[in-house]
């Protein structure tokens, strides 16, 4: 188990930087995590995806895959990859402070 500090708060993460305890996450931490992942600015569309990730995690206990995101987040797959070029589900999960979504499709 490792820790990182966002907004002056120490949080637990796994070795890839995903939150292991999503309750430690605060919205204000998202821009800082995003910058660390190479995203300079979080637009309204980014936030739509991030909030959807949190919502899905709260409902189902796991984050959605890219396919699910494309079908249900209101952001189509092409745009998801423009918003989060290095893997939308993975990156959005990290920024949203939830564990890495598992699933092959």
Partner 1 sequence: MSAEPITKVSIIISKGSLDGIYPGLIMANGARAEGIDADLFFTFFGLDAIHKARHEHIKMATVGNPGLHFATLLGGLPGVSTVMTHYMSNRMEKLDIPTIPEFIEMIADTGAGLYACKASVDLFGLEKNDLIAQVADIITVGEFYEKAAGGQIIFT
CA triple 98-100-104, angle to 5 deg: 140
Say if residues 75 and 49 touch (Cβ distance below 8 Å): yes
Nearer Cβ to partner 1 (60/67): 67
CB of 64 to partner 1, least distance (A): 11
CB of 37 to partner 1, least distance (A): 10
Among 1, 40, 104, 105, the active-site one is 104
Residue 13 forms beta bridges with which residues?
2, 19
CB of 66 to partner 1, least distance (A): 5
What backbone phi and psi angles, to 5 degrees, belong to 63? Answer: -80, 155
Nearer Cβ to partner 1 (27/76): 76
Nearer Cβ to partner 1 (55/67): 67
What backbone phi and psi angles, to 5 degrees, belong to 61? Answer: 80, 5
92 noted as active-site residue: no
Sign of the Cα torsion 93, 96, 98, 99 reads positive
Q: Which residues bind partner 1 (CB under 8 A)?
A: 65-68, 70, 76-78, 81, 85-91, 104-105
Which amino acids are annotated catalytic?
104
């Amino acid at each position: 188990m490792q820790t990182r500090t966002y907004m002056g708060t120490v949080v637990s993460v796994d070795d890839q930087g995903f939150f292991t305890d999503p309750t430690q996450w605060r919205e204000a931490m998202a821009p800082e995590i995003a910058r660390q992942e190479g995203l300079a600015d979080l637009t309204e569309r980014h936030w739509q995806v991030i909030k959807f990730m949190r919502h899905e995690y709260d409902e189902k206990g796991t984050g959605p895959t890219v396919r699910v995101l494309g079908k249900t987040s209101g952001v189509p797959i092409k745009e998801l990859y423009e918003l989060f070029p290095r893997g939308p589900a993975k990156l959005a999960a990290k920024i949203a402070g939830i564990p890495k979504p598992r699933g092959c499709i």
